[in-house]
Structure 1
């Protein structure tokens, strides 16, 4: 009786467990929430679709660096409430990622008329209350690594909760043993022109009131945190002719008793109190490289107009006197103001960093201005941005070339040489759509690309109009007479600026510029060190190749990838220090399609599953430079939850094989004959730990566990239990190979759609010694020499 009762209880428990499992499976099948990593270089729209569903996401950074990551969620029905949470976790050999380093924000959507759709740009601190049906919502992570952080691996998690559903991403951060300078102390010269009056206008507070100054302090801090080096001031009334629809008031108050006329300029008085307070506030925030004073002529364009706005002390009202460069009223007014400005700047110790700024002016107009400056303020430096005058000037204290001028490389190099001891030379992009830009609809990676362009051309930095010159309603109509986002990089918040994704990516590019500068200095140091000239030359060649990869806008395949190129810079910098690189530097990608069923390899590639697979070709040496058409090799991969499959189709001239070996036992030294090889890593964060599989034309084999942190690094005792088969078509000089590798042997419980592992595919072919044979790799290894360069592993992406 007792035994029967026990059996009954067990049966009930099993039945209950069965229904729980059925319910769990039904919940999984009925799940409406998708979540995936997007990458910070991609701009979201409400219609953005899932591109990856892998739960593991990794990034790397230097100490004192700020990096961005982006995720997205989408559902088929309304889910509420919604939020994302950072969680610290721990793993063997890793530190816990402090959530105090992580800021979570949510990209909001604004209408972009140029594209006729909503696009993500402002980064909001609060999540939306719900996930709307068939609507993609972004999640933006900003990770700030302290300067005192210990190098190494950090583990954390991002948990996304929407209604009763949740998704979790495992975050891996590798902090490299390098330290970036602070954003205000780095070498990149960021000169984003400011419009402080717009802050008062949008906040609806009086101009230069205590409330206005409190807000401006927040904007100053934000500019400094993004690397701003220059202070924009206005020294005359409306120097840009209200080009956004609103007046730019002067920070210097001009006063005159009555109506100004030529010959009476000595009666002018000047109040610098607003100018001083703004400059001091910006300097307190750490922005102190230059003070830009706009301007002695209205900009931009051909006009010679300069409106002299002043307070009539007799009435207390503003008067505006239109003058033109070269006329007497102009000459007299500036002949009085400029000496007063110079005296004031000297009193504050600011003269050496102050420039009179000019925006896209022709040489003829500038010649008239130069005459005035030479006569009345020869100590003052000038900043020329664009226009014919900038392209001809080697003597301007600061020169800002238009992006279009950079195509004349020889002329730019000559100009830079002439200006070496004069002052900074930067570049700018304007309202044209042909160049990389920072419009809301610009590809998001373009903002990050801009500092790379500066480095490529030997320029000091980047200039842009404007930081916060907002149109009437920036939230509902960010486009006005200018492209959406052309006149602003941040949005107005209640207590200060709201960052845009563009603004964050520009900062990321500035950090890339600083890392490139570190690498350049290391190469220069090696070049001067006896016995290291070849190493320096090799590093420089690869650095320039990396820069070309980041900035090439004429690619037929793919797009410029400053994010991936930054990893290559990190690897080169690590190598230059004599350390082993731990960063992946290859963008090669192979798509592994889902197979509806498992199958046993037989070497026959006429199967339906291979006919529909994505094939790639390998026909060069491992450096990618020397062609081997006689050994052209086609490769493909498919997967099921339990296995990953590989296929090779290999052309050959003659076969170089071990004839007398036992195919039942693995063959050490198989790589000394013809062979195809798979190196695969299902745990990409463990760069130096991966698995090697080799098969020869006559189906000899070896599998190895590789750990390059150990000696010896290859373990032949490891057994994966993989299956393999080959076929030789002697008539057509082609041999084929199939491999089936268990996911479990690679440390993965199973394979799922959206997962991305690291992989490289190889072939050794031909007779003779190694220098006579042909060694090929799918993801190139520029330095050559060995297949065992895991940082050059490409990506295998599993799709369904």
Structure 2
């Protein structure tokens, strides 16, 4: 007896991760609200009882907005989580996890595979003038002959107010050398510049407004004694008598490109090595007709040679930046994640840099409050699992970050974590008035310590070093980035932050805080928050309704 062909579909919110080997347990999600200028996501899961291809997918709507369909792909994970993980995870086994978002070819469509649930990701980009009202969005599945296999309808209500601009400074460390490695292009060739622009445009579209700027090759994630491909934006020439001259043409091209696509802030890469500030980054200079490395792991960071170099370089850089009108747009790093035992070296570096930087701020990811207390870094960036002391002591303009070791209780975005755990960061950033968010992995396609390049479609854990989802947010496409669920969901969190700020401007901060914590058994913190997607989605819907009600009330008062 043959199976009866039943093609199944279900409309779902964006916080569901659809696994091919797991039954769907989430209820249908068929309506929502959004503000003008917002990017709204939902998805449609589908399942065919037999191998079916191609399945053509289309979208129809009267909503005047850009609507994009993408196929949710599966990425392998050999290391989904740390051994001592908490319970707020979806699974802990190696396997295939939904993450990359592939474009859907009109002719090839998508594939249905023997009772496996798969998903189509729907992105709705609302404009500044999108008319208010409720709109239907239909996603339809059809066979190669045009026969309708299934369809789902979603209703999106547009609230007639613009989502405000993002005030949070947000950087995901951008690694130009990984682009050159993967695509096989020369660093800073025309092809490389095109890739840089494409990847940064996608970053900007997802809320990244600061970029790690490699004036010298960043001394990050590099084995001691090893080096990464040179991505040095500043030219250095050796002249007689221990003097140097500097050229900023490539740096100016970088800044001009970033200005054009919407990058607002520049974080100049670290001038001292990671985890200790004991050595110099790789610096190439031209002298006597040859280009050679003049500083690196063999360089004593406190020695006369490197100190003399920085005493010449930093004033020249300051002059250049001021000439470009960038005084309020530039930040500097000393060394990433120093420990207390590294303080003598960090102190020496900080004192030297502060001599030249003036009002340009120094930011660094660190754990120990003593670095801030002793004035060595004015803008500390504690991890979200070490931020409580900094909050208690009311450090102004506080930032936060997370990486591979922030995996117990706090927000993060590993493959195996629920998407709600990713998105909740937006509410937390709002409550604690965090000024900036940093993450180290926008496109780190290397193994740990950059011992070798990897194929991110096959290796998602930096060679068995970091849980999948930590090292990169984008995958390499033919000519630009392939986005991920994690990147879209994180951006939803940033939009939640902006919506909360809008509501605050209408009803006051105290009222918004009450709304956030209504019904909670304890105050929301970075480590304590509801884990359910329903809470987060419900909160955002209430925020949108309160915004609409406050605006309607304001209009009535103006009409009186």
TM tier, smaller? 0.7 to 0.9
RCO comparison, higher one (Cα < 8 Å, 6+): 2
CA positional deviation for 1:446: 2.3
| 311, 331, 337: which one aligns with 2:285 | 311
Aligned equivalents of 1:538 and 1:453: distance in 2?
A: 16
**How does the TM-score come out when normalised to structure 1?**
0.60
Change (3 A) 1:555 1:341: closer
Aligned equivalents of 1:40 and 1:403: distance in 2?
A: 24
Change (3 A) 1:412 1:248: farther
Change (3 A) 1:189 1:379: closer
SS in 2 for 1:330: helix
Aligned equivalents of 2:247 and 2:524: distance in 1?
A: 48
SS in 2 for 1:178: strand
Change (3 A) 1:34 1:323: same
**How does the TM-score come out when normalised to structure 2?**
0.84
2:89 alignment counterpart? none
The number of aligned residues is 515
Aligned pairs (5 A) from 1:185-264 = 185-240=165-220, 242=222, 246-247=228-229, 249-256=231-238
| 394, 414, 419: which one aligns with 2:393 | 414
Aligned pairs (5 A) from 1:600-639 = none
Change (3 A) 1:555 1:277: closer
**Counterpart check, 1:58 vs 2:31:** yes
CA positional deviation for 1:323: 2.0
1:368 alignment counterpart? 348
CA positional deviation for 1:474: 0.3
**Over alpha carbons, which structure has the higher Rg?**
1
Question: Gaps (5+ residues) in structure 1?
Answer: 1-25, 89-95, 259-263, 525-535, 581-800
CA positional deviation for 1:118: 0.5
CA positional deviation for 1:381: 2.5
CA positional deviation for 1:578: 5.3
8 Å Cα contact 1:112-1:118 kept in structure 2 = yes
Aligned pairs (5 A) from 1:389-404 = 391-392=372-373, 396=377, 398-404=379-385
**Counterpart check, 1:474 vs 2:456:** yes
SS in 2 for 1:381: coil
Aligned pairs (5 A) from 1:490-569 = 490-524=474-508, 540-545=513-518, 558=532, 561-569=535-543
Change (3 A) 1:238 1:97: closer
Change (3 A) 1:376 1:172: closer
Deviations 1:290-333 (A, max 9, x none): 2111122112x135111352234225233243323322122111
| 299, 305, 316: which one aligns with 1:340 | 316
1:284 alignment counterpart? 260
Aligned pairs (5 A) from 1:392-791 = 392=373, 396=377, 398-408=379-389, 411-416=390-395, 419=396, 424-432=397-405, 433-434=407-408, 435-471=410-446, 472-480=454-462, 481-524=465-508, 540-545=513-518, 558=532, 561-577=535-551
Question: Which 4+ stretches in 1 moved above 4 angstroms?
Answer: 162-165, 393-397, 536-540, 546-560
CA positional deviation for 1:566: 0.9
8 Å Cα contact 1:156-1:171 kept in structure 2 = yes
Aligned equivalents of 2:26 and 2:514: distance in 1?
A: 34
Aligned equivalents of 1:415 and 1:557: distance in 2?
A: 27
1:179 alignment counterpart? 162
Aligned pairs (5 A) from 1:312-331 = 312-321=286-295, 322-331=298-307
1:117 alignment counterpart? 95
Change (3 A) 1:310 1:78: same
CA positional deviation for 1:550: 7.7
SS in 2 for 1:399: strand
8 Å Cα contact 1:451-1:461 kept in structure 2 = no
2:88 alignment counterpart? none
SS in 1 for 2:399: strand
8 Å Cα contact 1:427-1:462 kept in structure 2 = yes
Aligned equivalents of 2:530 and 2:24: distance in 1?
A: 24
Aligned equivalents of 1:563 and 1:245: distance in 2?
A: 45
CA positional deviation for 1:203: 1.2
SS in 1 for 2:200: helix
Aligned equivalents of 2:220 and 2:420: distance in 1?
A: 30
- Please tell me the root mean square deviation across aligned C-alpha atoms, in Å: 2.9
Aligned equivalents of 2:414 and 2:357: distance in 1?
A: 38
8 Å Cα contact 1:450-1:462 kept in structure 2 = no
Aligned equivalents of 1:393 and 1:222: distance in 2?
A: 39
Change (3 A) 1:148 1:556: closer
Question: Gaps (5+ residues) in structure 2?
Answer: 80-92, 447-453, 555-560
Deviations 1:353-388 (A, max 9, x none): 222123222443321112212434434421122242
Deviations 1:275-302 (A, max 9, x none): 22112111111111x2111122112x13
**Counterpart check, 1:161 vs 2:153:** no
